[in-house]
Structure formats: structure tokens, C-alpha cells
Amino acid sequence: MTPLFAQATQTDLASEAGSLWNQILAFVTERGFAFSMNILAAIVLFIVGRWVAKILRAFSVKLMARADVDETLSKFLANIVYGLLLTFVVVAAVDRLGVNTTSLAAVIAAAGLAIGLALQSSLANFASGVMLILFKPFEVGDFVEAGGSKGVVEEIHIFSTIMRTGDNIQMIVPNGQITGGTITNFTAKKTRRIDLVIGCGYGDDLKAVRDFLESLIAADERILKDPEPVVAVNELADSSVNFVVRPWVGAADYWAVRWDLTEKIKLGFDEKGFSIPYPQQDVHVHGITA
């Protein structure tokens, strides 16, 4: 490179740098104050908007608490409200800086659609959780059969429900699976009916069998008098005469009374000589002389 060419290049660079500096000075002189005020306004808008969003979130929590909405659901919905308000505040602050927010809104909408499609099953569980909390088909402590599982409900969350089986195994069941099927709540009512089918032989005294079954029911204080228990001949089966025994008990006493009655009926039948028939076949063998 010749000295003359190098000198010309340095002169051009200096000229461009000077021109750029002059443009910056002109921008600062002409628009710097307005741009600074826009930045300040955007900062103030963001701070005030976030403060207002927090106030509205707290107000929505109190409002839902007065409406007796579940605490878990109220906090979750309040956070959603806060997130939406904060998004609006950010967009407004960016717009105050002179940025075109139309494309930004389109990007946010597209991102929301993509996230919604990706989290489709989670959103279904969320919607099911909201219905479970609002309509309360069961509560914590109830023994239910739902979503293909049976156990005691320990916790109800937005996306899933935690249950405990009789052998103390924890199950986490998605809420969408629960609301998508039949929900059987065994403890929703204060009383339950025990249904027993007791068979005796055709040669037994039916009146004596009935009196014995009725005496067992009358002797158990856990069995309710109202509704009145039922002991009746229900069926003349192939091998036995079947009685139905249907006493009413408190929901908490159901299994204990059922087990006790079953045991006492068997011991009483043995003691009184009543038979408990079982299916049997008579085989007749005929000999044929050759």
C-alpha cells in the first residue's frame, strides 16, 4: 500500500466517523429529550402497572374467598389474572418506546397457540381439576372409586388427585381421567346398606332360619333401626333357599358390621344345625353286561 493511498483511506474513515458522530449529535439534540421521556414513561408505566396488577391479584383472591372458592383454585386463577395483566403492561410499555406492538402481539398469540397444543392433555387435566374443585363430587377423606382407582382421597390438586389405597399405597390420578368416567363415592352418604345373600338347605326350617338372622341383627347396636333392616326369602335356587339380609349402618361401620355378621351367621348355622348348601351333582353309574 502506497503512502498516498493509506493517507486517503484514513481521511475517508475519519470523514465517515465524523459524519456518524454528527448524526448522533443531531439525533440527541433533536429527539434525545423526547426519547428519554419515552424511556422514563415506559419505566413508570411498567412499575405502576405491575403494582396495579398485584393489587388486582390480591383483590381477586379475597373476592373468590368470599365466594367460598377453594383456596388452591383461587390462588391459581389469581396468578393467571396477574400474568395476563403483566403481559398487557409490558406490551403497553414497549409500545410507549415506539416499537410496533402489532407484530409482537401476533408472536405472543402464535406462541400461546403452540403452547396450548403442546399442553393439550395438561390443559384438559386443568379443566377437570377446576370442575372437581368447583362441583366437589368428593372431598378430602372420602373413599371413592374414580379413574380406574379406588382409595381414600388425600389431596385434590389442579392437575391431579392423590389417593391412598387400603394397603397404604399412594396413587396420583390425572383429573381428566377422573372426570372422564364414573365417580363412585362410598362415603358421600352418612349411612350404607349391607347386602348379604345367605343360603340354607331345602330341608331346614325357614322360620327358624329367619328368626336366627333377625336376632343377630337386633343384637348388634351398630345396626340402625331406621331404615328398618330387611330379612326375606329371595330365591328358590338350584341347591339352596336364599335369604337376603339387608341392614343399614353408619358409613364408618360398614365393613366391620359386614365381617362380623358373616362370621356370626356361619358360627350360628353350625351351632343350630342349619346347612349351607353348595352346588353338587348326582352321578348315576349303570353297568352293562357284555
Residue 144 and residue 58 share a domain: no
CATH number of domain containing 144: 2.30.30.60
What is the model's pLDDT at position 90?
79
Where in the sequence is the domain holding 146, given as residue range(s)?
137-185
The span from the CA of 288 to the CA of 254, in Å, is 59
The sheet carrying 184-185 orders its strands as 170-174, 160-164, 149-156, 143-146, 184-185
In a domain, 4, yes or no: no
What is the model's pLDDT at position 5?
46
Between the two ends of the chain, the Cα-to-Cα distance in Å is 132
In a domain, 257, yes or no: yes
Going residue by residue through the chain, which has 290 residues, state the pLDDT in tens, using 9 for 90 and above. 555 444 555 555 556 656 666 666 665 555 556 667 777 877 888 888 888 888 888 887 787 777 776 666 677 677 777 777 888 887 777 777 666 666 666 666 666 666 665 555 677 888 888 888 778 888 888 999 998 889 999 988 888 899 999 899 999 999 989 988 899 999 889 999 999 999 999 999 999 999 999 999 999 999 999 999 999 999 999 889 999 999 999 998 999 999 999 999 999 999 999 998 877 666 778 777 76
The model's pTM is 0.59
Closest CA to 101 of 90, 111, 115: 90
CATH number of domain containing 231: 3.30.70.100
Which three cell numbers, joined as nine digits, stand for 197?
A: 345373600
In a domain, 146, yes or no: yes
Residue 33 and residue 59 share a domain: yes
The span from the CA of 174 to the CA of 127, in Å, is 11
Residue 197 and residue 166 share a domain: no
The span from the CA of 43 to the CA of 268, in Å, is 86
In a domain, 278, yes or no: no
Domains identified in the chain, total number: 3
